[in-house]
Amino acid sequence: MAERSKVDTSQMQLETGEALNRAQMRFHVLSELLNKVAAKLKITVTKAEIDTRKASIIEQVGGEAGLPTALVGAGIASKDFDLYLQSIIISDKLSQGLEATGIPADQVGTAIQRLVVDIAKENKVTINPRYGVWDALNADVVPVDSAGSAVTPSDK
């Protein structure tokens, strides 16, 4: 939130409140799970790879001056930028590896999701209910229905 105050967000559609908290939780959980998938498959990401990707993105957004606005727009905290890049690089390497094994390009995303779902099950992912609940089928953090069964439609 502090980083948002440093850039013009008037034309941005940004998440706030619980949705922002859930998005940040999702990012960190999925990053950790991707790291575990990478470790299991002996995929590594070097600092040089992260720095190269970072330089490319900085160039795409118009240089260092454009980076804060781009990060805010993408919902990425500047302190998480390297972690974000690492996750993207792992995903790219997984995609390349899966395609090399004969998985069609249009099915690679589903295959990566399956790897993440499986590693999440192995690690018994749970989420603090204040952020939502873990959707084990889709490897996602989703809102919790705080009313539960206490509120039902009036037409029943």
The pLDDT of residue 156 is: 43
Query: Is residue 17 a part of any domain in this protein?
Result: no
Domain annotation covers residue 42: yes
Q: What is the pLDDT of residue 142?
A: 92
What are the tens digits of pLDDT across the range 4-31?
767 777 777 877 788 888 989 999 999 9
- Determine, yes or no, domain membership for 106: yes
Residue 152 lies in a domain: no
Q: How confident is the model at residue 155 (pLDDT cuts 50, 70, 90)?
A: very low
- Looking at residue 135, its pLDDT comes to 92
Please check whether residue 71 is in contact with residue 9, taking contact to mean a CB–CB distance below 8 angstroms: no
Using pLDDT thresholds of 50, 70 and 90, give the confidence band for residue 99. very high
Q: Is residue 75 part of a domain?
A: yes
Helix orientation angle between 81-100 and 108-122, rounded to the nearest 10 degrees: 110
Range of the domain at 58: 30-142
Q: Is residue 88 part of a domain?
A: yes
The total number of structural domains in the chain stands at: 1
pLDDT digits (tens, 9 = 90+) for 54-78: 999 999 999 999 999 999 999 999 9
Token representation of residue 121: 């099950």
The reported pLDDT for the residue numbered 84 is: 96
Please check whether residue 127 lies inside any domain of the structure.
Answer: yes
Domain annotation covers residue 36:
yes
pTM: 0.84
Q: What is the largest CA-CA distance in the chain?
A: 61
